[in-house]
Amino acid sequence: MSRHREEHLELCAARVLGVLDEAGERELEAHLAEGCAQCEAELRALSGGALVLAMSVEQHRAPAAVRARVLAALESGGASGRQAEPGAVERPRRPWVASPAGALLAAAALLAVALAGVTTWRRTDELTRELGAARAITDSLQRSLDEERRWAAVMSAPDARTVKLAPTPQGAPALAAEVHYDPASDRALLFVQGFVPPSDRDYELWAITAAGPTSLGVVHAGPDGRAVVRVERLTRDGAVAAFAVSLEAAGGSPDHHKPSGPVVMLGKLAS
Amino acid sequence: MNETERDRRCWERVAGGDPTAFTELYDRYADLLYSLALRIVGSTSDAEEVLQDSWLQAWRSARTYDPARGAVGAWLVTITRTRALDRVRSLGSRRRAEGAATVEAAADPPAPAPDPATGYARRALRKDVAAALTALAPQQREVVELAYFEGLSQSEIAARLNAPLGTVKSWTRQALLKLRERVPVEALP
């Protein structure tokens, strides 16, 4: 048996987070297969830690529309076939075998029929479920497409307005950002480049109205510093006069209506 | 009966074809799963897709779920996290607008409220969870969050934080164990 080593515990942690590489996975699997109570207990404890992480996120209400779609998909496809009795086979009315060999043959035949029944039932059940799921996926793709079209329309809307944000003296010269705003749908798209914040810092986007600034959220760009941010109901706090970007501690400003770090970009909406 | 046992019995009814049991579980976990998906994918429309796909996947694999391998809640969380990370990868870019997401989410009609008993328990739990996160050293918190929510490998995390790989590995483990110690076992899904 492969002796338990301290490194096995670290492999357990990586596995729980789903970041264990292939070699590590093979090593841990081989070790666990031989039975290691310490690693098993460790995996349980670490999984609990991962769950705590999952529960640490800011809580939102799941949209009722998703609930309706999921339950509808189940009703249309999955639930119906599952109530049937599996593999119900009618018994022959009278025995038609006289010899022990015949009895064995008959038993085998019956078993085959019963198995075929079970298999057919399972297959039908699976297919019905697959069909329900496929329908739900088609619906969901259609919705995604419609949603993407709506966002694309922001760019081509006749009244769409574009605001270029410029770095302030506190901002890095490489920062670039542009907002496209469609007053008709009250949606805005923000395109950014060069958004690579120093470590432990985040860039946060702000809409400035007569009432003051309102956070539109932290901008998480990819490793290349680019991102596209979608903003719904932009003018919920009143007409937007300008957009700004501030450099905040990781996670953004604690005050939703006041940047706590320096404003690094600014762009006024021409009236 | 604790929550894990209640969920397990509920899932047995789901596997037996009882739609009301599925609805019961959905209402218990949808907010948590949606919030997790939203944290990972960053947009409400993507999070909705992830939530829907995750439940359909759970339904399809109802019969293969093995209670010995973990609680129902943990299983649902794993499915959702995996699908959310897959979605981020398939989108190719990590676009996030948490503020906009909040507003968009709030605009949807509210789902049925959880029953008051679990509501209270959840609030107490949330306090414990927040305290557990705050108690972590900043680097430890960062490594587990980068791995869990961004799906970064330990080498990627080491490169990003400019820290030795061995250190990242030990921070990861210590952080998870500390989180686990500070939240009551029976309260976890």
Average pLDDT of A235-243? 82
Inter-chain touch B102–A63, beta carbons under 8 Å = no
Are the Cβ atoms of A61 and B31 closer than 8 angstroms? yes
Q: Which residues pair with A263 in a beta bridge?
A: A246
Instruction: Examine the pLDDT at A94 and tell me if it is beyond 80.
Output: no
Residues in chain A, total: 271
**pLDDT, tens only, A42-66:** 988 888 889 899 989 988 889 988 9
Confidence at residue A103, expressed as pLDDT on a 0 to 100 scale: 64
Is B79 at the interface with chain A, CB within 8 A? no
Question: Of B91, B175, B156, nearest to A16 (Cα)?
Answer: B175
The whole-number pLDDT of residue A104 equals 66
In chain A, which residues have their Cβ closer than 8 Å to the Cβ of B148? Answer: 17, 50, 53-54
Report yes or no: B137 at the A interface, CB cutoff 8 Å.
no
Contacts of A136 in chain B (CB under 8 A): 52, 56
pLDDT, position A161:
83
> Quick one: tokens of B147?
């791995």
Cβ neighbors of A45 (< 8 A, separation 6 or more) are: B176, B177, B180
- On the 0-12 / 13-18 / 19+ scale of CB atoms within 10 A, A179 is buried
pLDDT-based confidence at A227, cuts 50/70/90? confident
pLDDT at position A165 is: 93
**From B19, which residue of chain A is nearest by alpha-carbon distance?**
A79
Over residues A30-41, mean pLDDT: 88
Q: pLDDT 10s per residue in chain B (189 long)?
A: 577 788 888 888 888 878 788 898 899 899 999 999 999 998 899 999 999 999 988 888 877 777 777 788 888 999 999 999 989 888 764 444 444 444 344 444 334 444 444 455 667 778 888 899 999 999 999 999 999 999 998 899 999 999 999 999 999 999 999 999 988 766 666
Residue B187's pLDDT is 63
Q: Give the model's pLDDT for residue B186.
A: 64
Q: How far does the CA of residue A98 sit from the closest CA of chain B (Å)?
A: 41
Listed residue (B58, B171, A193) closest to B179, CA to CA: B171
Nearest CA to CA, how far is A129 from chain B (Å)? 7
Check residue B185 and give its pLDDT. 62
Per-residue pLDDT for A134 more than 70? Answer: yes
CB contact under 8 A, B95 and A147: no
What tokens were used for A76? 């249309």
What was the pLDDT predicted at A122? 66
**A123 vs A50 pLDDT, higher one:** A50
CB B158 within 8 A of CB B171: no
Which residues in chain B are closer than 8 Å to A229, comparing Cβ atoms? 95-97, 100
Question: Are A190 and A231 a contacting pair, CB within 8 Å?
Answer: yes
pLDDT of residue A118: 67
Q: Which residues contact B57 (CB under 8 A, 6 or more apart)?
A: B79, B83
pLDDT value for A86: 32
Taking CB atoms and an 8 Å limit, are A61 and B110 in contact across chains? yes
Taking the CA of residue A70 and the nearest CA in chain B, the distance in Å comes to: 6
How far is it, in rounded angstroms, from Cα A37 to Cα A39? 6
Of B36, B98, B105, the CB nearest to A54: B36
Asked if B31 has any chain A CB less than 8 Å from its own CB, the reply is yes
Contact A206, A215 (CB under 8 A): yes
Enumerate the residues of chain A whose CB falls inside 8 A of the CB of residue B39.
57-58
Task: Note the pLDDT of residue A87.
Answer: 32
Question: Looking at the predicted structure, is the pLDDT value of residue A208 above 80?
Answer: yes
pLDDT of residue B55: 92
B91 min Cα distance to partner chain A (Å): 11
Whether pLDDT at A83 is above 50: no
Rounded to an integer, what distance in angstroms lies between the CA atom of residue B148 and that of residue A254? Answer: 23
Shortest CA gap B113–chain A (Å): 10
Distance, in Å, from the CA atom of A95 to the CA atom of A103, rounded to the nearest integer, reads 9
Number of C-alpha atoms within 13 angstroms, CB side, residue A107? Answer: 7
Task: Please tell me the distance from the alpha carbon of residue A57 to that of residue B129, in angstroms, as a whole number.
Answer: 10
Chain A residues in contact with B83 by the CB 8 A cut-off are none
Residue A107: CB atoms within 10 Å = 11
Contact map slice: B 47-76 vs A, CB within 8 A: 48-49, 51-53, 55-56, 59-60, 70, 73-74
Confidence at residue B145, expressed as pLDDT on a 0 to 100 scale: 93
ipTM above 0.95, yes or no: no
Rounded Cα distance, A266 and A206, in Å: 9
What are the tokens at B21?
A: 């049991």
- Which pLDDT value is given to residue B116? 41
Please indicate whether, in this complex, the C-beta atoms of B99 and A217 are within 8 angstroms of each other. yes
- B56/A14 Cβ within 8 A: no
The residues, ordered by sequence, that sit 6+ positions from B137 with a Cβ below 8 Å of its Cβ are B171
Of B34, B82, B132, the CB nearest to A62: B34
Give the pLDDT confidence score for residue B117 in this predicted structure: 42
One-letter amino acid at B28 equals R
**Pair A172, A195: CB distance under 8 Å:** no
φ, ψ (nearest 5 deg) of residue A248: -120, 165
Average pLDDT of the residues of chain A: 80
Q: Do B26 and A71 touch (CB under 8 A)?
A: yes
| Cβ–Cβ under 8 Å, residues A192 and A238 | no
pLDDT digits (tens, 9 = 90+) for A139-165: 777 777 777 777 777 777 777 888 899
pLDDT at A264 over 70: yes
pLDDT, tens only, A68-80: 888 888 877 643 3
